[in-house]
């Protein structure tokens, strides 16, 4: 699955607003995705864009808005808007998942602003 350019832009803007944009490293997205899948993400390799896309895709599959074997150019967020017949659903998901990424980054001391339980490996 691929996030369409519009939703990719929206996701990056949300990460920018939440102070996480500097953690996005497109050049190592594939490695970040693999690490996220296998639970090997570290403070140094946490990529909130990759993690957000994977969380969105998993949630879209759970909701049956998309299937894991859908064509690679299927955007999970476009599919969710269609599936739920709610054109604002993708925006809500982007806001929620980037809040989650922000909480994860805060909890692990990757960004400043608060303390919490560590979730990722040191």
List interacting residues with Zn ion (CB under 5 A).
4, 7, 75, 77-78
What's the closest the beta carbon of residue 77 comes to Zn ion, in angstroms?
A: 4
Neighbours of 107 (CB within 10 A): 16
Whose Cβ is closer to Zn ion: residue 78's or residue 103's? 78
Whose Cβ is closer to Zn ion: residue 94's or residue 110's? 94
Whose Cβ is closer to Zn ion: residue 7's or residue 18's? 7
**Is the distance from CB of 103 to CB of 24 less than 8 angstroms?**
no
What's the closest the beta carbon of residue 7 comes to Zn ion, in angstroms?
A: 4
Distance from C-alpha of 9 to C-alpha of 114, rounded to nearest angstrom: 27
What's the closest the beta carbon of residue 42 comes to Zn ion, in angstroms?
A: 30
Distance from C-alpha of 69 to C-alpha of 2, rounded to nearest angstrom: 12
Whose Cβ is closer to Zn ion: residue 66's or residue 106's? 66
What's the closest the beta carbon of residue 25 comes to Zn ion, in angstroms?
A: 22
Distance from C-alpha of 6 to C-alpha of 28, rounded to nearest angstrom: 21
**Is the distance from CB of 93 to CB of 16 less than 8 angstroms?**
no
């Amino acid at each position: 699955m691929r996030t369409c350019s519009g939703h990719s832009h929206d996701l990056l803007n949300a990460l920018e607003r939440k102070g996480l944009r500097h953690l996005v490293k497109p050049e190592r997205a594939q490695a970040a995705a693999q690490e996220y899948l296998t639970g090997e993400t570290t403070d140094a390799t946490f990529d909130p864009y990759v993690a957000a896309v994977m969380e969105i895709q998993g949630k879209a599959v759970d909701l049956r808005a998309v299937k894991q074997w859908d064509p690679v150019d299927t955007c999970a967020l476009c599919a969710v808007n269609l599936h739920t017949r709610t054109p604002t659903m993708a925006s809500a998901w982007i806001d929620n998942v980037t809040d989650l990424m922000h909480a994860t980054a805060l909890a692990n001391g990757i960004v400043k602003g608060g303390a919490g339980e560590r979730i990722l490996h040191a």
